[in-house]
Chain A
Amino acid sequence: MIYKLKKEFLQEYIDDLIKNYEVWGPKKIGNDVIFSKLEKGSEFTDERTILGPKNFIYPPREKIGEIDDKEVIVIGVKSCDLLGYRMLDDVLGIDPSYAERRKRVHFLNFVCTEPCQYGFCTTFSGPRLMEYEMQFTDIGNYYVIECNNKNLIGKRFEEGGENEIKALEIIMSDFYKKMPPLDVKDLDKKISWNDPKYAEFAKRCISCGACNFACPTCFCFDTYDDNGLYREWDSCILSGFTRMAGNINPRPTLDLRLRQRFMHKLKFHYENFSYYLCTGCGRCIETCPVRIDIRDFIRGV
């Protein structure tokens, strides 16, 4: 169903949500915008955060066997992040504890109407998603709201129709003009094991793993014991990622690890799931201290 909501009523809508749910959203704290628990609707901003809210469905560190059972609404997630979480679902969804937590988190995504500095989401699906619980697009005086969850319909929502769909299409066509998609046709077949870019990137990369942690689609984790068994996000860029007992390491050098990162996203995952493990969010470019740019890599293939 399609609705519209006068922009002035968004705060009130969030206030109403807060009455029934724990609600998290981007909030300005000092100079930063951070996903925070919202006490009132006026705290909400639709500005972009540096990190997406992946931790709600996939905590950076968790004790295995312990899950939080509260229902949470996360409003203000960007479409590129939410699309990434759907990809996480395809991999992690077979784990019962992930699946259990996942169904308790409701993401209400906001569609960007202006390109961001590093994003290239039009390459994959663009900012307006086909699958969502509730999707907000700012069309000026109103938000157009595409809704698949009746329980979250607000009292000020007005029924929308063709005019709203038309407004969305105009905004999207404008967005695509400003952010022309990269050519990724047959990228999975063209990408090479021997691309000189791996070694070139390896000269600059400082193995910090920020790209992995900022990525909405990176799912790799490690397990370790710390008075109980924990699982923690892991990074394929780190030298210990594939190291086995006896110091045997199938990927001993950084160029091989960077190769794995790019090939996993743009070849192996495609071969297994028929889509690239990338949403064009640009977070890996933005957080990389040496500006390794996946767009450059894609253009070079």
Chain B
Amino acid sequence: MRSMIPVKSRIIDIYKETDDIKTFIVEKTIDEDPVPGQFYEIYVRDAGEIPISIASWNDGLIFSVKRVGAVTEKLHKLVKGDYIGLRGPYGNGFPEHRRFTVLIAGGIGLPPARSYIEYWLSKGAKDMQLLYGARTPSDIVYKKLLDYWSNYIDVQITVDRGDSTWDGNVGVVTTIFNRIKNKDADFLIIGPEIMMKFSIIELKKMGVSDDNIYLSMERRMKCGFGICGHCNIGRYYVCKDGPVFRYSTIKDIPEAIH
């Protein structure tokens, strides 16, 4: 959808995931179906527009949003039945599933990973593994889904700081890289750039080639289709050439992973 005019969409339901993350199920008022890893521009009245990755879709579109800035703050205050504006889907999305794939998701990077896992599970692909890092046990989203996925694929979770309820791994996501089941795989990294940076260092040590590492990048994307000029990484526009890039494509661009 190459237009700046948002399409009005009703919020069908809202779930609270954590203290600062909510999941919104929104009426699908745009015919075009997304592919995993794409995003929408969400317009919240009296606040503005923000790019949010699609987490899942069926009759409605599902977005999980962390409260982190002015627009998400306002979005979190909306209730079932309120309206938002939608534009999209935008971007290239993740590469097609072609062989064993390891998803490395940090924090609010899990919702885009979910779009990939659900989509390919529904197509019968089980050769996937999820490594998920959250700040604390109470920051973990999609707890039921994580349990459900572990019936089909290997799911590894770590937290930066544990608590009395937590008996799993404590440490950043790279501390569970020794559990990676297959190094001859595609690696999809979704999360903060600092996490990408250290994940890449570790993957390189394991002998993974730059061509097999994919990064889901974030920038201040205001339009979604390559005209507003905010999301350059060198010659590339994250909104239309990305948000998913092969590491080999952008690794020599100085401001790619800053």
Residue ranges of A at the interface with B (Cβ–Cβ < 8 Å): 64-65, 91-92, 94-97, 193, 219-225, 227, 229, 231, 234, 236, 241-246, 248, 250-251, 256, 260, 263-264, 267-269, 271-272
Of B2, B5, B229, the residue contacting A220 (CB under 8 A) is B229
Residues of B near A224 (CB, < 8 A) are 48
**Which of A65, A91, A222, A271 counts the most chain B CB atoms within 10 A?**
A222
Q: A96-B2, A96-B3, A268-B235 are in contact. Are A225 and B229 (CB under 8 A)?
A: no
A259 to chain B, nearest CB (A): 9
B155 to chain A, nearest CB (A): 27
Q: How far is the CA of A245 from the CA of B192 in the complex (A)?
A: 12
Kindly state whether residue B129 has any CB partner on chain A within 8 Å.
no
Q: A221-B229, A224-B48, A245-B72 are in contact. Are A95 and B3 (CB under 8 A)?
A: yes
Report whether A64 and B5 are in contact in the complex, using a CB–CB cutoff of 8 Å: yes
Q: How far is the CA of A193 from the CA of B258 in the complex (A)?
A: 14
Residue ranges of B at the interface with A (Cβ–Cβ < 8 Å): 2-6, 43-50, 68-72, 85, 218-220, 222-223, 225-230, 232, 234-235, 254-255, 258
Residue of B nearest to A267 (CB): B235
Of A65, A220, A267, A271, the residue contacting B228 (CB under 8 A) is A220
Residues of A near B44 (CB, < 8 A) are 225
B162 to chain A, nearest CB (A): 24
Q: How far is the CA of A250 from the CA of B196 in the complex (A)?
A: 14
Q: How far is the CA of A86 from the CA of B254 in the complex (A)?
A: 30
Q: Is the interface of A mostly helix, strand, loop or mixed?
A: mixed
Counting from the closest, the 5 A-B pairs by CB-CB distance are A245-B69, A220-B229, A268-B235, A271-B235, A245-B68
Residue of A nearest to B44 (CB): A225
Q: How far is the CA of A37 from the CA of B186 in the complex (A)?
A: 60
Of B6, B68, B218, B220, the residue contacting A243 (CB under 8 A) is B220
Residue of A nearest to B217 (CB): A250
Report whether A229 and B255 are in contact in the complex, using a CB–CB cutoff of 8 Å: no
Residues of A near B43 (CB, < 8 A) are 225, 229
Residues of B near A248 (CB, < 8 A) are 218
Report whether A229 and B6 are in contact in the complex, using a CB–CB cutoff of 8 Å: yes
Of A219, A222, A227, A256, the residue contacting B227 (CB under 8 A) is A219
Residue of B nearest to A228 (CB): B45
Q: How far is the CA of A248 from the CA of B232 in the complex (A)?
A: 15
Of B47, B227, B235, B255, the residue contacting A272 (CB under 8 A) is B235
Report whether B229 and A219 are in contact in the complex, using a CB–CB cutoff of 8 Å: yes
Of B3, B232, B234, the residue contacting A97 (CB under 8 A) is B3
Residues of A near B255 (CB, < 8 A) are 250-251, 256
Query: Apart from A95-B3, A96-B2, A97-B3, what 7 extra A-B contacts exist at CB < 8 Å?
Result: A222-B222, A223-B49, A223-B223, A241-B220, A243-B220, A245-B71, A272-B235
